[in-house]
């Protein structure tokens, strides 16, 4: 079958393309911005890429593609999409195609939640891989234990990052309702994606729909300390529920140790100890909970906590999750993808635990769709309170970043010119023993600040946080 993918260069749709190609399909695709590294990754797999969404590309195929797979970045008014509709050509969303063509025959382990999906999915996938399960997977980032972010796999298990964002312009349900998991991990739940959800209750409803799809002999692994998830489970659960959290009252709990390691407890009994590798890039309480959730999920398919802990001892975090870009002049530059106040809080907290009293310079770019709307601007000062200095890039926003961060006082500075931002960061970092950039550092600024540490390549687009998504 010849599949043509619209919006192929996003992390999710690029993963769909890779899996389809591995399944033996001819795959082509198009996007508005076709550039490395995603373009080179796809082309290396024999996937032909076309720049733009002109309907003229339909004329260049010897025979019309059998199916058009539509990414959620594509909206009505897109010229190629309009041509597909006008000509009555067959189309389907990426999540639906994946569910019907790949996941239907698999034991799906789905990782859902507002925060930590990518890291937790990478942890869980690595646990399965380390223990010989040869899983398929689709992760919304580049896991450093693997060479690619998506793989068809050789066994019956498939790990997927289960996103609550909408499926496509013609299917406003959350993506994860298409995955039909047998093991569903609900990591946390807060309000996010203000461009498509009116309030937290609307997101809870989508999570309820996900819970409805888990079979009776499946398992729900649920954060027992999240009120919104408690509300979801109260609405109905037809599969067993195992809760995890810091507290002993949960089925799965933990005891923190040095260097962010921890003891795993099941039903109050100590069953394993996780010790991170020095170069793992993993830090903070939130990653302890992410790992605990992954251990609980792996236990459902027969991987013991001790075997999971052995795998996690060799785990390397995902790119752009407090990724060390390099060190120069005793200054460490990190890049982190956090784009929600809670995620920013946990990122800064984890870094503070790691560096102690060393200075932290936080650089924020409010770039996600929700952030650009200013919905969570009031929460930003508290999320950055533990940083010593805060720099923000405030270009092309409909709200005043400087005003929003004014509770931070003199330690916050805002810029609309990128060159001025870079200069200020460079000047501010010189006296420090250690400076860290966290939150969303603009790619150009990251490259320039990190010089002479290392030049950075462009990153694949995350569809949900690109800031380029048009109204549907």
Instruction: Say yes or no to pLDDT of 10 above 80.
Output: yes
Does residue 19 surpass a pLDDT of 60?
yes
- In this structure, what DSSP letter does residue 318 have? B
- Reported pTM: 0.76
CA distances from 173 to 70, 116, 156, 467 (A): 14, 21, 26, 20
User: CA-based Rg of the chain, rounded to a whole angstrom?
Assistant: 22
How large a percentage of the chain has pLDDT more than 70?
Answer: 86
- Tell me, what DSSP letter sits at residue 307? H
The pLDDT confidence band at residue 192, using thresholds 50, 70 and 90, is low
Domain topology for 2-94: Rossmann fold (3.40.50)
**All structural domains of the chain with their residue ranges:** 2-94, 102-312, 323-465
The mean of the pLDDT values for the chain is: 85
Query: Would the pLDDT of 432 be above 50?
Result: no
pLDDT on residue 279: 78
Q: When comparing pLDDT for 86 and 147, which is higher?
A: 86
Digit-coded pLDDT (tens) for 132-153: 999 999 998 778 888 888 999 9
Q: Is 458 helix (H, G, I), strand (E, B) or coil?
A: coil
- Would you state the structure tokens that stand for residue 152, as one six-digit string? 């068809």
pLDDT recorded at residue 39: 81
Interval 420-431: pLDDT, tens: 888 888 887 775
Q: What pLDDT sits at residue 449? A: 46
Rounded Cα distance between 210 and 194, Å, is 20
Q: Cα separation of 445 and 443, whole Å?
A: 5
Identical fold, 2-94 and 323-465:
no
Q: Is the pLDDT of residue 462 over 60?
A: no
Terminal CA-to-CA distance of the chain, rounded, Å?
Answer: 29
How large is the angle between the packed helices 11-22 and 94-101, nearest 10 degrees? 30
Please determine, for residue 346, whether its predicted confidence score (pLDDT) is greater than 90.
no
In whole angstroms, give the CA distance from residue 472 to residue 470.
6
Which class for 104: exposed (0-12), middle (13-18), buried (19 or more C-beta within 10 A)? exposed
Q: Per-residue pLDDT for 452 more than 70?
A: no
In angstroms, what CA-CA distances link 443 with 17, 337, 393, 446? 25, 11, 12, 5
Q: What is the architecture, at CATH level 2, of domain 323-465?
A: Alpha-Beta Complex (3.90)
Q: What is the pLDDT of residue 436?
A: 41
Confidence band for 447, pLDDT divided at 50, 70 and 90: very low
Inform me whether the pLDDT recorded for 442 exceeds 60: no
Span 102-312 CATH architecture: 3-Layer(aba) Sandwich (3.40)
């Amino acid at each position: 079958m010849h599949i043509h993918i619209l919006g192929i260069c996003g992390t999710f749709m690029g993963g769909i393309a890779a899996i389809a190609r591995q399944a033996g399909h001819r795959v082509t695709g198009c996007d508005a911005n076709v550039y490395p590294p995603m373009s080179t990754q796809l082309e290396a797999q024999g996937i032909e890429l076309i720049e733009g969404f002109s309907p003229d590309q339909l004329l260049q195929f010897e025979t019309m593609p059998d199916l058009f797979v539509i990414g959620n970045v594509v909206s009505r008014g897109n010229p190629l999409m309009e041509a597909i509709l006008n000509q009555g050509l067959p189309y389907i969303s990426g999540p639906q195609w994946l569910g019907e063509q790949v996941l239907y025959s698999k034991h799906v382990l789905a990782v859902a939640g507002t925060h930590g999906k990518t890291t937790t999915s990478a942890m869980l996938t690595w646990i399965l891989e380390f223990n010989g399960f040869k899983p398929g997977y689709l992760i919304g980032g580049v896991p450093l234990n693997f060479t690619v972010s998506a793989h068809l796999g050789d066994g019956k298990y498939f790990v997927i990052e289960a996103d609550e964002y909408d499926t496509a312009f013609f299917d406003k349900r959350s993506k994860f309702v298409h995955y039909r998991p047998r093991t569903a991990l609900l990591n946390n739940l807060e309000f996010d994606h203000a461009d498509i959800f009116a309030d937290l209750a609307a997101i809870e409803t989508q999570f309820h729909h996900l819970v409805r799809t888990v079979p009776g002999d499946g398992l729900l692994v649920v954060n027992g300390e999240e009120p919104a998830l408690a509300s979801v489970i109260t609405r109905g659960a037809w599969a067993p529920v195992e809760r995890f959290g810091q507290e002993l009252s949960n089925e799965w709990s933990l005891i923190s140790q040095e260097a962010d390691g921890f003891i795993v407890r099941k039903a109050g009994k100590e069953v394993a100890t996780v010790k991170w590798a020095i170069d793992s890039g993993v830090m903070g309480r939130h990653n302890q909970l992410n790992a605990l959730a992954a251990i609980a999920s792996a236990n459902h398919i027969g991987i013991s906590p001790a075997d999971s802990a052995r795998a996690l001892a060799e785990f390397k975090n995902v790119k752009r999750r407090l990724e060390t870009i390099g060190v120069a002049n005793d200054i460490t530059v990190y890049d982190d993808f956090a784009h929600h106040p809670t995620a920013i809080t946990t990122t800064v907290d984890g870094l503070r635990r790691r560096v102690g009293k060393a200075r932290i310079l936080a650089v924020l770019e409010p770039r996600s769709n929700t952030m650009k709307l200013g919905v969570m601007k009031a929460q930003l000062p508290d999320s950055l309170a533990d940083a010593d200095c805060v720099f923000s890039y405030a270009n092309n926003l409909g709200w005043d970043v400087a005003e929003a961060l004014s509770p931070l006082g003199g330690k916050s500075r805002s810029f609309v010119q990128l060159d001025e931002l870079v200069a200020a960061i460079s000047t501010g970092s010189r006296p420090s023993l250690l400076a860290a950039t966290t939150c969303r550092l603009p790619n150009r600024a990251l490259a320039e600040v990190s010089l002479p540490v290392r030049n950075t390549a462009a990153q694949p687009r995350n569809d949900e946080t690109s800031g380029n998504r048009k109204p549907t």
